[in-house]
Structure 1
Amino acid sequence: MNSVVSPDKPVRDYSKQLDALQNGCFSDPFSFLGLHLSTAQEYELRAYMPGAKSVSVEIAGTSQPLKRYLNSDLFLLTTTASLLTHQNKFTITYSKSKQIKHDVYRFGCHLDEQALYLFNEGTLEHAYRHLGAHFITHEGIEGVRFSVWAPNAQSVSVIGDFNCWNRCEHFMRFHPASGIWELFIPELSADQCYKYSITDAYGNNQDKADPFAFKMQQAPSTASVLQPLIEHKPLTKQQQAARAKRNHVSAPVSIYEVHLGSWKRRAEQGNRYLTYRELADDLLPYVKDMGFTHLQLMPISEYPFDGSWGYQPVGLFSPSSRFGSFEDFVYFTERCHDADLGLLIDWVPGHFPSDPHGLHKFDGTHLYEHADMRQGFHPDWNTYIYNYDRPEVKSFLLANAIYWLKEFKIDGLRVDAVASMLYLDYSRKDGEWVANQYGGRENLGAIDCLQQVNKRCYGTDASIMMVAEESTAWPGVTNSVDNNGLGFGFKWNMGWMNDSLSYMSRDPLYRQHHHHEMTFSMAYAYSENYILPLSHDEVVHGKGSLLSKMPGDDWQQFANLRAYFAFMYAHPGKKLLFMGSELASRQEWDHNQGLDWDLLEHASHNGIQCTVKRLNKLYTSTPALYECDHTPAGFQWIDCNNASQSLFSFARFGKESKELLIVISHLTPQVYHQYRMGVPKAGVYEVVLNTDDEPLFGSGIKVVGSKQQLVQTQPTPSHGFEHSIVISIPPLATLYLHWITG
């Protein structure tokens, strides 16, 4: 039987290796630590154990001590290789404790070389399954595989509460071809915290959070947290079919935008956030009862600063721990699926903050951001811009988009600040930006990145919806990539929002001079698949609430808002309202407080909520209001030029001839009786909405005299039509008249 060879031999010179170990900068730890051939017949086992009083290893049923090298924390044992197996463990004795550990430097690499190739190529859509921290069984042992991209680092260590945050204990193995560092550490547990300690390209040390972490500590703490990737309950065939139906371009899409931290708070418990589970029990039934088809969450990727509302994320793969655990978020998403409620999340691929534990100068170089500050720094937000020309950055962003859609079965992503990505001169003066290779202002790398993300996301699941917040006239945002478009499914109509809010904020006396602010949007309504947004951006930074934008006395403000909402729901395009809009909040949104739900005790505010609820019900049950949003066949002006009375009238059509709705918006405080208006089809029309109804806090002016609110057409030409109706027009009101019979 082989026996342990006595270590009493001439001491080898390990001064260089020891110096690297002690300074936490070892670029090739596997070349030295672990078991290595020392002579033709002997092997040397080397272990570096900072702070250890003694180290031993069990061999063939007996404990064999390792000898301390000089006065260092390096321990050595000379033996034959046959005496060591994968089941050997170190017993490390410290001054106040004893630990039993595997030798991490005896495990081979577990990385997929083909995946690394695709990562470096910019096409690894499942990069989150290869990089980051993953619970695996490797060579028969359970543990965590850590891997991180840091090609210019001199050394990378895993630090965490499992090694007392000592950067000299778990040095990682470097793969020069891919720029990836990796290490397998056995017997770790979920919820343990960790970071990467990086000796950067210039010899400086910095501790970074894991870019691919599935969980992070809540601010002000900054560590990543070990989290298994949970298998989400698959969608049933019925749920998949429902998703495809509700996200289609010809479907009714009514989105309720929410900031989870301020929809409601638990005031009696220190003004705390609601958890994901509490929100599932409270928010989801409310959204369904209000008749919305989709819920859109402002960014929930982990972010350090509450005041950024999530738009400066550090943990792109980590659902924010502000509202509970990873499992809690999974529960929330599954409850959305069970409720047949579409779930969208804000996605922020346009920039990232400068927090020291984040992506900025990750390995000492401009790894994720563009090195040229004229392209890599965002002057508006003091943030850094991704280098979209770098393939690994494309893999990172592509994988993140796929992650939310595939792992959580989310309906889609609303991509933030797309315009800032598309233009090299965005918010920059002459001389502050660099032209592309053709001398233009288009960011070609960002364009390609967005196209590939959209193409891959729709290729993964065609039933999703990708939405662009794009504020310019960039052509083809919702064209397919194959047709030279960006490949989005929908685009926010910022032009409609700006023009219509500008008009509505004017005194009715002056609206006649700005009449076409309300009609101009129809000149381009079919150039893209639009969503009409009244988002959080319109009720912050001193802009006031939607109600406060409306002119007139208190009653007129509410009447204006009801009429405006009804005009919006009738206008071609899908709908989006920010939370609190349905309450007619008097103050602009404050992310530190919950909404003022007590407002609903007042008839005026309750009337707005009832209006939105009624609009959602009418919208989702009236094909004329949504089926032909994307084609001119779904809309016809009756009168778009009545500026003197600030009156707009048009018809909406569905795919079937019976689907016809007449819409009239009157935006002055006057009342008009016996008003004749042409209509495109003879027959009987029913008044299905009058925002001036008394239950909505209106004045109660009746559109027609009949109790059933029915009106018969007359064979009297008007407005270019052969038939017309005669009705009363209430003040500051929008009317819907549905054709019911010929």
Structure 2
Amino acid sequence: TNYFAVSSRFGTPDDFKKLVDEAHGLGLLVLIDIVHSYASADEMVGLSLFDGSNDCYFHSGKRGHHKYWGTRMFKYDDVDVLHFLLSNLSWWVTEYKIDGFQFHSLSSMLYTHNGFSTFTGAIEEYCNQYVDKDALIYLILANEMLHELHPDIITIAEDATYYPGLCEPTTQGGLGFDYWANLSIPEMWLWHLENVPEREWSMNKIMKVLISSNHHMLSYVENHNQSISGRKSFAEIILNTGMCSSGSVDDDLIFKASSLLKIIKLITFTTSGGAYLNFMGNEFAHPKRVEFPMSSNEYSFHLACRQWELLDKGVHKHIFNFDKDIMSLDENERVTSRGSLNVHHCDDTNMV
């Protein structure tokens, strides 16, 4: 609900500035997940009913609420809303010196149906009465402002529908993002892991998802969507979590499972179209999902953590070392910046 500082649960604004400075000193960039696609419906500490009216920053009526989540939806045709959101972006860069943004859940704002529709890729699905043209204009303005004032800034679009022109220059009719996060890749891996024995995986189907539209693509094996309540982390699916914390990589079962996980990591990394991302804990095969305190788990913090002590244990240490080797490969060979792939052979029979 606070747009101009991190939650006080994690520290003060000065604490965050120190964190950013420390990261920069280590040669790391700091990007934040910015949520301008919707807002909290909280009327006590949020923007909802901020001035007592229902439409101060948001649409009135049904359009003012997300179709399924109940969150408030900004009215991007309002000049004050544009000023507020653009100033919010500028604040994070000028005050906290962050290096970029991932724009969260763009499909929620790009369409009046909030992205909850069947998409086949037909151009008509992106050019109809359900597209919020004012939201498009805001994203163009945001990218133009950020890249004009801060040439080294990085902007990433998180859009499950892959709106055409996400990463094309605004001068060419695009939205101006530097990268787009391909949410279909982790969903593809999850579907295979849960539904298809590994000996029956189709290499053609896998490669189709991995390399389709991989221009400026940010790839990852799994993200927060695969780790929310009721689902499992990939390590939890692939590895027997009762054994993996103490299991040795010499154990046949653990060796086979960890090898499968490493193959998934390697093929996703080498086919990425520009960038690769680890969700926290994936780099060492964290055995449990993330689950925040909520009513369904009686507000437990049990899964709202990462077990960093596993970094030096058994199969987790082995997979972590493999992940570091992948990063070194990119540093030395520039794998993710080589451009589009040319896949010359794909054989389902021999799984090659």
TM exceeding 0.5: yes
**Aligned residue type for 2:307:** D
Q: Counterpart in 1 of 2:348?
A: 643
State the TM-score, normalizing by the size of structure 1: 0.41
- Residues 1:628 and 2:338 aligned together: yes
Q: Counterpart in 1 of 2:291?
A: 590
User: Gaps spanning 5+ residues in structure 1: where?
Assistant: 1-313, 430-437, 648-742
Q: Counterpart in 2 of 1:564?
A: 264
Q: Counterpart in 2 of 1:536?
A: 224
- Residue 371 of structure 1 and its aligned partner are, at CA, apart by 0.9
User: Gaps spanning 5+ residues in structure 2: where?
Assistant: 118-126, 241-252, 293-300
- Residues 1:579 and 2:280 aligned together: yes
Deviations 1:146-178 (A, max 9, x none): xxxxxxxxxxxxxxxxxxxxxxxxxxxxxxxxx
- Residue 572 of structure 1 and its aligned partner are, at CA, apart by 2.8
Q: Counterpart in 2 of 1:386?
A: 74
Higher relative strand content: 1
Task: State the aligned residue count.
Answer: 316
**Aligned residue type for 1:581:** N
Distance of aligned partners of 1:583 and 1:628 in 2 relative to their CA distance in 1, 3 Å threshold = closer
User: 1:392-407, aligned counterparts within 5 Å?
Assistant: 392-407=80-95
Q: Counterpart in 2 of 1:414?
A: 102
The secondary structure found in structure 2 opposite 1:318 is: coil
Q: Counterpart in 1 of 2:180?
A: 491
Q: Counterpart in 2 of 1:724?
A: none
Q: What is the CA–CA distance in structure 1 between the aligned matches of 2:85 and 2:142, rounded to whole Å?
A: 8
Q: Counterpart in 2 of 1:442?
A: 131
Query: Of the two, which has the highest radius of gyration?
Result: 1
Q: Counterpart in 1 of 2:111?
A: 423
The secondary structure found in structure 2 opposite 1:541 is: coil
State the TM-score, normalizing by the size of structure 2: 0.84
**Aligned residue type for 1:566:** L
- Residues 1:453 and 2:136 aligned together: no
- Residues 1:603 and 2:314 aligned together: yes
Higher relative helix content: 2
Distance of aligned partners of 1:368 and 1:609 in 2 relative to their CA distance in 1, 3 Å threshold = same
Q: What is the CA–CA distance in structure 2 between the aligned matches of 1:388 and 1:536, rounded to whole Å?
A: 27
**Aligned residue type for 1:531:** L
* 1:361 corresponds to which of 49, 58, 82: 49
Q: Counterpart in 1 of 2:30?
A: 343
Q: What is the CA–CA distance in structure 2 between the aligned matches of 1:598 and 1:337, rounded to whole Å?
A: 25
Moved more, 461-470 or 544-553: 544-553
- Note if contact 1:499-1:517 (Cα within 8 Å) is conserved in structure 2: no
Moved more, 393-402 or 319-328: 319-328
- Note if contact 1:507-1:551 (Cα within 8 Å) is conserved in structure 2: no
Asked which structure has the greater RCO (Cα within 8 Å, sep 6+), the reply is 2
Deviations 1:336-389 (A, max 9, x none): 22221010001000111122222112222211110132x210132221111111
Q: What is the CA–CA distance in structure 2 between the aligned matches of 1:465 and 1:449, rounded to whole Å?
A: 17
Q: What is the CA–CA distance in structure 2 between the aligned matches of 1:583 and 1:339, rounded to whole Å?
A: 21
Q: What is the CA–CA distance in structure 1 between the aligned matches of 2:210 and 2:41, rounded to whole Å?
A: 42
Deviations 1:480-504 (A, max 9, x none): 1111111111100123332234334
Q: What is the CA–CA distance in structure 1 between the aligned matches of 2:163 and 2:7, rounded to whole Å?
A: 33
**Aligned residue type for 1:555:** F
Q: What is the CA–CA distance in structure 2 between the aligned matches of 1:497 and 1:520, rounded to whole Å?
A: 14
- Residue 596 of structure 1 and its aligned partner are, at CA, apart by 1.7
Deviations 1:297-355 (A, max 9, x none): xxxxxxxxxxxxxxxxx110122211222211111111122221010001000111122
- Note if contact 2:276-2:336 (Cα within 8 Å) is conserved in structure 1: no
Q: Counterpart in 2 of 1:482?
A: 171
Q: What is the CA–CA distance in structure 2 between the aligned matches of 1:499 and 1:598, rounded to whole Å?
A: 30
- Note if contact 2:36-2:103 (Cα within 8 Å) is conserved in structure 1: yes
Q: What is the CA–CA distance in structure 2 between the aligned matches of 1:542 and 1:597, rounded to whole Å?
A: 22
Q: Counterpart in 1 of 2:326?
A: 615
Q: What is the CA–CA distance in structure 1 between the aligned matches of 2:268 and 2:88, rounded to whole Å?
A: 33
Distance of aligned partners of 1:448 and 1:395 in 2 relative to their CA distance in 1, 3 Å threshold = same
Deviations 1:704-729 (A, max 9, x none): xxxxxxxxxxxxxxxxxxxxxxxxxx
- Residues 1:318 and 2:5 aligned together: yes
**Aligned residue type for 2:278:** L
Q: What is the CA–CA distance in structure 2 between the aligned matches of 1:423 and 1:611, rounded to whole Å?
A: 41
Q: Counterpart in 1 of 2:297?
A: none
- Note if contact 1:414-1:469 (Cα within 8 Å) is conserved in structure 2: yes
User: 1:3-42, aligned counterparts within 5 Å?
Assistant: none
- Residue 450 of structure 1 and its aligned partner are, at CA, apart by 0.8
Q: What is the CA–CA distance in structure 2 between the aligned matches of 1:427 and 1:622, rounded to whole Å?
A: 38
**Aligned residue type for 1:509:** R
- Residue 616 of structure 1 and its aligned partner are, at CA, apart by 0.7
Q: What is the CA–CA distance in structure 1 between the aligned matches of 2:166 and 2:145, rounded to whole Å?
A: 16
- Note if contact 1:503-1:518 (Cα within 8 Å) is conserved in structure 2: no
Distance of aligned partners of 1:483 and 1:453 in 2 relative to their CA distance in 1, 3 Å threshold = same
Q: What is the CA–CA distance in structure 1 between the aligned matches of 2:213 and 2:190, rounded to whole Å?
A: 17
- Residue 452 of structure 1 and its aligned partner are, at CA, apart by 0.4
The secondary structure found in structure 2 opposite 1:477 is: coil
Q: What is the CA–CA distance in structure 2 between the aligned matches of 1:504 and 1:454, rounded to whole Å?
A: 37
